[in-house]
Amino acid sequence: MDIKKLSKFLSLILRHKPETINIKLDKNGWANVSEILRGMKIDFATLEKVVAENDKQRFSFNEDKTKIRANQGHSLKVDVELVEKIPPEILYHGTIEKNLESISVRGLLKMNRLYVHLSADIETAKKVATRRAGNAIIFKVAARQMFNDGFKFFQSANGVWLVETVPPKYLV
Ligand code: HQG
Question: Phi/psi of residue 24, each to 5°?
Answer: -125, 150
**To test ligand 1's pocket by mutation, which of 10, 111, 163 has the most ligand atoms within 8 angstroms of CB?**
111
Residues contacting residue 159 through CB under 8 Å, at least 6 positions apart? 57, 120
Structure letter (DSSP) for residue 14: I
State the number of CA atoms in the 13 A half-sphere of 144 facing the CB. Answer: 4
Q: Whose CA is nearest to atom 40 of ligand 1?
A: 73
- Whether the Cβ atoms of residue 88 and residue 142 lie closer than 8 Å to each other: no
Structure letter (DSSP) for residue 86: P
* 102 C-beta closer than 6 A to ligand 1: yes
- Whether the Cβ atoms of residue 106 and residue 168 lie closer than 8 Å to each other: yes
CA distance 23 to 37: 11
- Whether the Cβ atoms of residue 30 and residue 79 lie closer than 8 Å to each other: no
CA distance 126 to 150: 28
39: CA distance to ligand 1 center in Å? Answer: 28
43: CA distance to ligand 1 center in Å? Answer: 32
* 120 C-beta closer than 6 A to ligand 1: no
41: CA distance to ligand 1 center in Å? Answer: 30
Question: Phi/psi of residue 93, each to 5°?
Answer: -135, 120
The string of pLDDT tens digits covering residues 127-155 is 999 999 999 999 999 999 999 999 999 99
92: CA distance to ligand 1 center in Å? Answer: 12
Other C-beta atoms within 10 Å of 47: how many?
20
Fill in the amino acid letter for 125: A
**Mean predicted lDDT score pLDDT of the chain:** 97
pLDDT cut 90: percent of the chain above it:
98
The string of pLDDT tens digits covering residues 90-104 is 999 999 999 999 999
* 103 C-beta closer than 6 A to ligand 1: yes
Tell me, yes or no, if the pTM score tops 0.85: yes
| pLDDT over 90 (residue 1) | no
In whole angstroms, what separates CA 83 from the centre of its chain? Answer: 14
75: CA distance to ligand 1 center in Å? Answer: 12
49: CA distance to ligand 1 center in Å? Answer: 27
Fill in the amino acid letter for 130: T
